[in-house]
Amino acid sequence: MESVKSRNFKSAIFFILSLLAVTYCPAQQRIPLYEGAVPNSKPTADRERDEPNAAVDTLTFQVSVPSLTVFLPPPERANGTAVIICPGGGYHVLLTKREGSDIAREFTKLGVAAFVLRYRLPDDEILVDKSIGPLQDAQQAIRLVRERAGVWGINPAKIGIMGFSAGGHLAATAGTHFEKAAIENVRNTSLRPDFMLLINPVISMTDRVGHTGSRDNLLGAAPPLDQIQVFSNELHVDSLTPPTFLVHSDADVVVPVANSFIFYEALHKNKVTAGLYIYPTGEHGFLTAPTFDEWFGRCMYWMKELALL
What's the chain's average pLDDT? Answer: 92
Please report whether residue 105 resides in a domain.
yes
Q: What is the CATH number of the domain that holds 293?
A: 3.40.50.1820
Query: For residue 139, what is the enclosing H or E element?
Result: helix 133-147
**Share of residues in the chain with pLDDT > 90 (%):** 90
Question: Per residue in 28-62, pLDDT tens?
Answer: 799 999 999 999 999 999 999 999 999 899 999 99
Measured between alpha carbons, how far is 113 from 126 in angstroms, rounded to an integer?
31
How confident is the model at residue 187, as a pLDDT? 97
| Angle separating helix axes 133-147 and 166-176, nearest 10 degrees | 60
Please report whether residue 129 resides in a domain.
yes
Pairing label, strands 93-94, 113-118:
unpaired
Query: 107 in the Ramachandran plot: left (φ > 0), alpha (ψ -120 to 50) or beta?
Result: alpha
Query: 252 in the Ramachandran plot: left (φ > 0), alpha (ψ -120 to 50) or beta?
Result: beta
Question: Per residue in 278-298, pLDDT tens?
Answer: 999 999 999 999 999 999 999
Question: Per residue in 259-272, pLDDT tens?
Answer: 999 999 999 999 99
* Among the ranges given (10-14, 36-40, 77-81, 254-258), the one the predictor scored with the smallest mean pLDDT: 10-14
User: Is the pLDDT at 157 greater than 60, yes or no?
Assistant: yes
Q: Residue 127 carries which DSSP code?
A: B
How many domains are contained in the chain? Answer: 1
Q: Which residues of 9-34 are buried (b: 16+ CB within 10 A; e: fewer)?
A: eeeeeeeeeeeeeeebebebeeeebb
Please report whether residue 23 resides in a domain.
no
Sign of CA dihedral 148, 153, 158, 161: negative
Please report whether residue 4 resides in a domain.
no
3-class secondary structure, 183: coil
Question: Per residue in 229-241, pLDDT tens?
Answer: 999 999 999 999 9
Please report whether residue 20 resides in a domain.
no
Domain residues for the domain of 128 are: 30-305
Please report whether residue 157 resides in a domain.
yes
Question: Per residue in 91-130, pLDDT tens?
Answer: 999 999 999 999 999 999 999 999 999 999 999 999 999 9
Please report whether residue 5 resides in a domain.
no
Please report whether residue 178 resides in a domain.
yes
Neighbours of 67 (CB within 10 A): 19
